[in-house]
Chain A
């Protein structure tokens, strides 16, 4: 098929936009493994910047992972339960509660962090521990878990299934574990990936909440951008990409498979 001229015009435009987004990321990855970025690639390939990053900043990577894991555990507990209740309660009440839960995403992280510091900054042990950052991350990620699980639950017929199980005499926790959770699984999975990705990358809240003893990966990144040579900052960014890109790819694969099953269902409806 011959494509009209406008096709190539639009393709060119889209490629430019794509380059604007991707070229800096590639530059950063290259700079992280180049001996001297100013001289260019011909100065040689090296791992020394990555090793230097590891020596300087490995603590921040561990802390970010620790916080992300705890954030996920808390979300799995309070978020999934909350989403189930909202799916059950339904109607106006559920919509209002959902609207409230989304507030910490709608309000800039800086404002929430200020509020937390003004309120709880006086409790020194709490203020200086990583739990202070965890609190912020839980607030910020909870909406994503709740909405992701809620969306899946409202699109399935879990209520009928649950009632079937109840009529057969299954007590509540049995129904919850054997009927509700399996039905909510795709939502829980998507929500979990999102919670980890967001927690590992969170900066706006974390920058205000951190102390010199509790630096996360993005805080370390900001630090290296301000005070380290370009190669070290790039190598550090590369480490961050290596952590975050598999999560992103997993999320896209999950979204694609969901779309495919949806299309499949629609096709069957059409027949």
Chain B
């Protein structure tokens, strides 16, 4: 038996600890302090409710994130369950293609939406051919919605497929042999079993959407999502205290959401919209 060598382990973790303290803890603490240096001190943190521009941005971001999460969950559950249940030629390729955009930065996803639904985009060309005018969605709330959906689907599908692979097919067969319709099987057997996975991936999706900056930045829509508001406050208005307090609030929201996800599924996929 090696005697327990705690001092050595703490020494080995020290380089990581030093970098973390210097470049993460200390600056984040400073950020939280700067957030409280507005005209009203600690009460500046209330600006998210009291300043109409900040409040509207907050509400828009939360609503958008909830909408994206709901859609991503439904879409990914249908596709993910299908891919886990059915093995056919090309199904592996489909899984690869569906998870392929995982490593795209938010800016690139914004550009994908411009190509899909922008002024020279695919949807516009098709609608121009069919109904005689160009449908342009990219620079409105719809563009953001599509973009967020784009980076959410691969993440959610992965989590749901992992959860679905653990389902016991015997339970379904038992339900069927007892006379449950396929709809009843889905509602009473499959969905409850998937619930932890659904909540976990929903939380990841929500957190990623709340913090997504690159996609909104590229699309440059007229809707200010919270990260864009923070960016404008900091760079254009030089309102450091406002930007700092909003970032801290945003950070706490995403952190709580991801904590929920990890406690349910044990792993989270990178969030970088």
Contact = CB atoms under 8 A, between A and B. Distances in A.
Given A77-B15, A202-B105, A89 B9 contact: yes
B140 to A, nearest CB: 17
Contacts of B250: 108, 110-111
A85 B105 CA distance: 32
A174 interface: no
A166 interface: yes
Interface stretch (A44-52, A54-62, A136-144, A182-190): A136-144
Decide if the interface of chain B is mainly helix, strand, loop or mixed.
helix
B75 A17 contact: yes
- The secondary structure that dominates the A interface is helix
B16 A248 contact: no
Interface string B25-36: 011101100100
Interface stretch (B50-58, B92-100, B192-200): B92-100
Contact of A108 (B2, B102, B150, B254): B254
Contacts of B104: 201, 244
A115 B27 contact: yes
A97 to B, nearest CB: 7
B115 A24 contact: yes
Nearest to A40: B125
A21 B154 contact: yes
Interface in A78-136: 78-79, 81-82, 84-86, 88-89, 97, 99-112, 114-116, 118-120, 135
A139 B23 contact: yes
Contacts of B227: 108, 110, 204
A111 B111 CA distance: 24
Contacts of A208: 231
Contact of B111 (A37, A139, A221): A221
A230 interface: yes
B117 to A, nearest CB: 9
A247 interface: yes
B186 to A, nearest CB: 11
Contacts of B133: none
Interface stretch (B41-49, B62-70, B171-179, B207-215): B207-215
B106 A198 contact: no
A144 B2 CA distance: 29
Contacts of A138: 19, 23
A24 B12 contact: no
28 contacts: A14-B98, A17-B75, A20-B153, A27-B116, A28-B115, A78-B15, A82-B12, A82-B13, A88-B5, A89-B9, A105-B270, A107-B255, A108-B211, A108-B213, A110-B227, A111-B31, A115-B24, A138-B23, A142-B16, A142-B20, A163-B1, A172-B8, A203-B105, A218-B108, A222-B107, A225-B107, A234-B115, A252-B99
Closest 4 CB pairs of A and B: A108-B211, A111-B247, A115-B27, A24-B112
